[in-house]
Amino acid sequence: MDERTHEHAEVLVDWSARVERGDDVVLSVAEGAHDLAVAVAEKLGERGANPLVTYDSDEVSRAYLRAHDGEFGTGEHELAMMESADVYLRLGGGRNTSALADVPGEVRQGYATATAALRETRMDTDWVSTVHPTRSLAQQAGMAYEEYRDFVYDAICRDWEALAEEMAEMKELLDAGSEVRIEKGGTDLTMSIEGRTAVNSAASVAYDSHNLPSGEVFTAPHATEGEVFFDVPMTINGKRLQDVSLVFEGGEVVDFSAGTNEDELETILDTDAGARRLGELGIGMNRGIDRFTDNVLFDEKMGDTVHLAVGRAYDACLPEGESGNDSAVHVDLITDMSEGVMEIDGEVVQRNGVFRWEDGFEV
Amino acid sequence: MDERTHEHAEVLVDWSARVERGDDVVLSVAEGAHDLAVAVAEKLGERGANPLVTYDSDEVSRAYLRAHDGEFGTGEHELAMMESADVYLRLGGGRNTSALADVPGEVRQGYATATAALRETRMDTDWVSTVHPTRSLAQQAGMAYEEYRDFVYDAICRDWEALAEEMAEMKELLDAGSEVRIEKGGTDLTMSIEGRTAVNSAASVAYDSHNLPSGEVFTAPHATEGEVFFDVPMTINGKRLQDVSLVFEGGEVVDFSAGTNEDELETILDTDAGARRLGELGIGMNRGIDRFTDNVLFDEKMGDTVHLAVGRAYDACLPEGESGNDSAVHVDLITDMSEGVMEIDGEVVQRNGVFRWEDGFEV
């Protein structure tokens, strides 16, 4: 086993999930994540937690979903398990990212609807989602297996304490600010962040952050005006969106285009009223991620990028008791900021990929 | 996938577990049982059941157990899951039958004690245990992989309805009888079965039978007298017992010997008072099993064999409200009856592997 797999497990159990003695842990293991499961089980043993290991196999799901008549029930046993769980650890990493490709969309949707309570309950645990580097994910990233492993561990095995401190600076600026402006070729966008709270997403439940890797600061913008061009391609619902452009007026998308699969973009924006408004502005600050791999878990955290999501906002960013931009979707789109400017209330915070507290920042 | 894997899944879901629409099913998948899990998931989809798939990995268990300080807790989430489950399907089939070899016995024992409630709860479900043929199990059986697959499917893909009918004849004889005698070279043993009820173990929860394959009729004998020689080797707690001989007086073992690992036999018999009495007399009637493979799930069901277990008896064999021979152990030992005689109340029921209702039976 790669020595870094043990480091990954330690970061996950101790930094991210903060597992303690006696915690009831659901450990969800994808088909290709066996080695990481072994390493995590060792850490859970050391901490004196109680793991229940589940098998998250796309091939098993496919066989089940395709054979079912579509009138799905809810497994009371799974709900009971989740209600009693303290921690949920999802170890992704399959053997074929297209394993569910021939399951009709309405069947997946029907299953998702029937099991909504399960996901809600899972969100009440200290949940963390991570991935084990598999050949399938390497292929999706267009990388050799060894190369991809280096990429994943560079993103995950970081000094999270130090990054959390740096991100705290960005959070402070956003919390104090009223308006964010992003400006680069094809992009001039302003968003209000008045009254919103930023989340320092430092890959730990202690920071309300549930992805490993993470490394972004995000908030919930509103009253968006202007145009934005997303130069980073994203695969959404199995379709690759490239060169997406959105035009906002009064907080809503009034015009859009895409270099590929524009119809998919239209379908997303037409989901509901909330799908035409922004739910998230995220600032990628994980410099361990140095390239795009067509996997949002990594891409949106990449240093020197900004992502905007149309659809649902996170409650954590909103005033107590207020609910976010209501929508059934939350679709992230990414723009490269290595040649661009981000301002808060007219003051430049990042120029050409350099934050104002970093060496080399040009005033 | 081997076409017989689908047949295996169908026998398991329909004949063995009798899964119905809306059943909450725990599907436990061993490391090497992925293909069978896919086939079973398809059947569960067809039946409209709700599966929760768990991962039963010896390597994950080993890592956890070895890292733990030994003060094990009970996972309330796992208990809650099992309490809500209607059906539990265990798909065995690992990648290394020795994967737990370096976990100290007292650690395993400590974990088993801490999780006793979980096993009790599992026994209240419609549970069925089966195995997927893996290379590891083929190796243990001393067989090539393809050869072993044929062996497993011959044992599992049977006309269970017909075998259940034949076994019903044997059950009738045992229920009506008072004394069983087994006689062959080195063996002359009599057991009382007065007041006991035989179980027609036809690999289905509808028959109180929880193994696939099964194919045995068993009861709970008492007042055992005489000597018995077990010519089939068995691996118990990782130790191979060969040529075991037991001498009974007044229902208890008063003398014993073994060709190998006699100390292990002694440890078993010294566990508690019940460990020196018989808990089970089983008559193997599955002719799809034609050789010994050092796996009790198969060996004890083999046609033309009889097995006796020292230790705990099954409640199903005893008068209502009475508990069986109390013991912490239940260790099966097998004797070949292809050259021997079994009598019930002095009447020959089987001679040299032929039952009295079969062609070729010599009166």
pLDDT tens per residue, range A240-251: 999 999 999 999
Measured in angstroms, the CA of B86 and the nearest CA of chain A are apart by: 9
What is the structure's pLDDT at B324? 78
Helix or strand (DSSP H, E) at A108: helix A105-114
Rg (CA), chain B: 20
The answer, yes or no, to whether residue A92 has pLDDT greater than 90, is: yes
Count of CB contacts below 8 A, A vs B?
Answer: 158
What is the structure's pLDDT at A235? 87
Q: Rounded mean pLDDT of A208-213?
A: 94
Q: What is the chain A residue with the closest CA to B74?
A: A50
Nearest to B290 by CA among B114, B86, B148: B148
pLDDT tens readout for residues A309-331: 999 999 889 998 887 788 889 99
Band of residue B363 on the pLDDT scale cut at 50, 70, 90? confident
Helix or strand (DSSP H, E) at A63: helix A58-67
**Smallest Cβ distance to B80: which of A68, A75, A84?**
A84
Strands B341-344 and B330-336: unpaired
Single-letter residue type at B214: S
pLDDT tens readout for residues B218-228: 999 999 999 99
pLDDT tens readout for residues B157-174: 999 999 999 999 999 999
Question: What is the pLDDT of chain B when averaged over all its residues?
Answer: 95
Residues of B in contact with A84 (CB under 8 A): 76-77, 79-80
Residues 6+ apart with CB under 8 A from A309: A278, A279, A280, A282, A330, A331, A332, A333
Residues of B in contact with A45 (CB under 8 A): 63-68
Q: Rounded mean pLDDT of B116-141?
A: 96
Is A52:A24 a contact under the CB 8 Å cutoff?
Answer: yes
Measured in angstroms, the CA of A156 and the nearest CA of chain B are apart by: 22
- The CA distance from B195 to A191, in Å, is 84
Helix or strand (DSSP H, E) at A118: helix A116-123
Report in angstroms the alpha-carbon separations of A117 from A89, A111, A149, B322.
18, 11, 35, 44
The answer, yes or no, to whether residue B236 has pLDDT greater than 90, is: no
The answer to whether A81 contacts B52, with C-beta atoms less than 8 Å apart, is yes
Probe site for chain B from A40, A52, A124 (most B CB atoms < 10 A)? A52
- The CA distance from B92 to B32, in Å, is 8
Band of residue B264 on the pLDDT scale cut at 50, 70, 90? very high
Q: Rounded mean pLDDT of A165-173?
A: 96
Is B345:B178 a contact under the CB 8 Å cutoff?
Answer: yes
What is the structure's pLDDT at A48? 98
The answer, yes or no, to whether residue B201 has pLDDT greater than 80, is: yes
Residues of B in contact with A77 (CB under 8 A): 24, 26, 50, 52, 80-82, 84-85
Is B219:B338 a contact under the CB 8 Å cutoff?
Answer: no
Residues of A in contact with B77 (CB under 8 A): 24, 26, 50, 52, 80-82, 84-85
The answer, yes or no, to whether residue B194 has pLDDT greater than 80, is: yes
Measured in angstroms, the CA of A84 and the nearest CA of chain B are apart by: 5
Nearest to B201 by CA among B214, B189, B212, B191: B214
- The CA distance from B207 to B218, in Å, is 12
What is the structure's pLDDT at B137? 96
Band of residue B253 on the pLDDT scale cut at 50, 70, 90? very high
pLDDT tens readout for residues B338-349: 999 999 999 999
Q: Rounded mean pLDDT of B198-202?
A: 96
DSSP lists the bridge partners of residue B183 as B188, B341
Q: Nearest-5° angle of CA B68, CA B70, CA B75?
A: 75
Nearest to B262 by CA among B248, B277, B241: B241
Q: Nearest-5° angle of CA A86, CA A91, CA A93?
A: 165
Q: Rounded mean pLDDT of A277-291?
A: 96
The answer, yes or no, to whether residue A363 has pLDDT greater than 90, is: no
The answer to whether A34 contacts B59, with C-beta atoms less than 8 Å apart, is yes
Question: What is the pLDDT of chain A when averaged over all its residues?
Answer: 95
What is the structure's pLDDT at B239? 87
Q: In what order do the strands lie in the sheet with B24-30?
A: A211-212, A126-131, A87-92, A24-30, A50-56, B50-56, B24-30, B87-92, B126-131, B211-212
Q: Rounded mean pLDDT of A194-222?
A: 96
Single-letter residue type at A342: M
What is the structure's pLDDT at A321? 82
Rounded to 5 degrees, what are φ and ψ at B341? -135, 135
Tokens of B343: 């009598």
Tokens of B202: 């036809």
- Terminal-residue alpha carbon distance, chain A: 48
pLDDT tens readout for residues B292-334: 998 989 999 999 999 999 999 998 899 988 877 888 899 999 9
Q: What is the chain B residue with the closest CA to A71?
A: B48
Single-letter residue type at A135: R
Residues 6+ apart with CB under 8 A from A155: A213, A215, A286, A288, A289, A298, A301
- The CA distance from A249 to A64, in Å, is 45
What is the structure's pLDDT at A284? 96
- The CA distance from B88 to B80, in Å, is 14
Tokens of A294: 């067509």
Residues of B in contact with A80 (CB under 8 A): 77, 80-81, 83-84
What is the structure's pLDDT at B328? 86
- The CA distance from B326 to B276, in Å, is 11
Asked if the ipTM is above 0.95, the reply is: no
**Smallest Cβ distance to B64: which of A24, A44, A84?**
A44
- The CA distance from B309 to B303, in Å, is 17
- The CA distance from B46 to B42, in Å, is 6
Q: Which CATH number fits domain A3-156: 3.40.50.300, 3.40.630.40, 3.40.50.2300, 3.40.1830.10?
A: 3.40.1830.10
Question: How crowded is the C-beta side of A256, counted as CA atoms within 13 Å?
Answer: 25
Q: Nearest-5° angle of CA A231, CA A232, CA A235?
A: 130
Is A5:A39 a contact under the CB 8 Å cutoff?
Answer: yes
DSSP state of A11: I
The answer to whether B34 contacts A71, with C-beta atoms less than 8 Å apart, is no
* Per-residue three-class SS string for chain B: CCHHHHHHHHHHHHHHCCCCCCCEEEEEEECCCHHHHHHHHHHHHHHCCEEEEEEECHHHHHHHHHHCCCCCCCCHHHHHHHHHCCEEEEEECCCCCCCCCCCCHHHHHHHHHHCHHHHHHHHCCEEEEEECCCHHHHHHHCCCHHHHHHHHHHHHCCCHHHHHHHHHHHHHHHHHCCEEEEEECCEEEEEECCCCCCEEECCCHHHCCCEECCCEEEECCEEEEEEEEECECEEECCEEEECEEEEEECCEEEEEECCECHHHHHHHHCCCHHHHCEEEEEEECECCCCCCCCCHHHHCCECCEEEEEEECCCHHHCCCCCCCCCCCCEEEEEEECCCCEEEECCEEEEECCEECCCCCCCC
Measured in angstroms, the CA of B28 and the nearest CA of chain A are apart by: 8
Going through chain A in order, the beta strands assigned E by DSSP cover 24-30, 50-56, 87-92, 126-131, 179-184, 187-192, 199-201, 211-212, 216-219, 222-230, 234-236, 239-241, 244-249, 252-257, 278-284, 305-311, 330-336, 341-344, 347-351, 354-355
Sequence ranges of chain A with CATH classification 3.40.1830.10 = 3-156
The answer to whether B77 contacts A41, with C-beta atoms less than 8 Å apart, is no
The answer to whether B45 contacts A63, with C-beta atoms less than 8 Å apart, is yes
- The CA distance from B89 to B19, in Å, is 10
What is the structure's pLDDT at B23? 98
Report in angstroms the alpha-carbon separations of B244 from B12, B181, B247, B255, B333.
34, 19, 10, 11, 8
Tokens of A156: 């995950």
